[in-house]
Amino acid sequence: MRRTVKRKAAPRKAARKTVRKVRRTRKGAKLWTAAEVKMLRKMYKGTSAPDIAKQLKRTVSSVRSKAVALSLKKAAVKRKAAPKRKTAAKKKIVRRKVRRR
């Protein structure tokens, strides 16, 4: 005679609850409207943050932090190439010309 052994059921894993992240804003903070975000995206590359802040009536730090949140980047600044250095051979030629005078 065989005895049947009752197996215990595997413990059930607790169902994961999805937690919604609630973005907390500072008390009295002004939320960004879609129009303001659109304007920020247009102007950010070519205009300075203080100028944008004046037009949107916001602080400079709020404009910068929103730009970071939107992954906006400033346009690359074109710089003049550094002047070429004179080589040793050119320096000798210049010295000869100076001595002859």
Per-residue pLDDT of 48-58, as tens digits, reads 999 999 999 99
Which letter does DSSP use for residue 49 in this model?
H
Q: What is the per-residue pLDDT for 91? A: 66
pLDDT at 75 over 70: yes
Asked if residues 40 and 72 have their Cβ atoms less than 8 Å apart, the reply is yes
DSSP letter (8 states) at residue 69: H
pLDDT at 21 over 60: yes
Judged by DSSP in three states, 34 sits in helix
Provide the 8-state DSSP code for 80. Answer: P
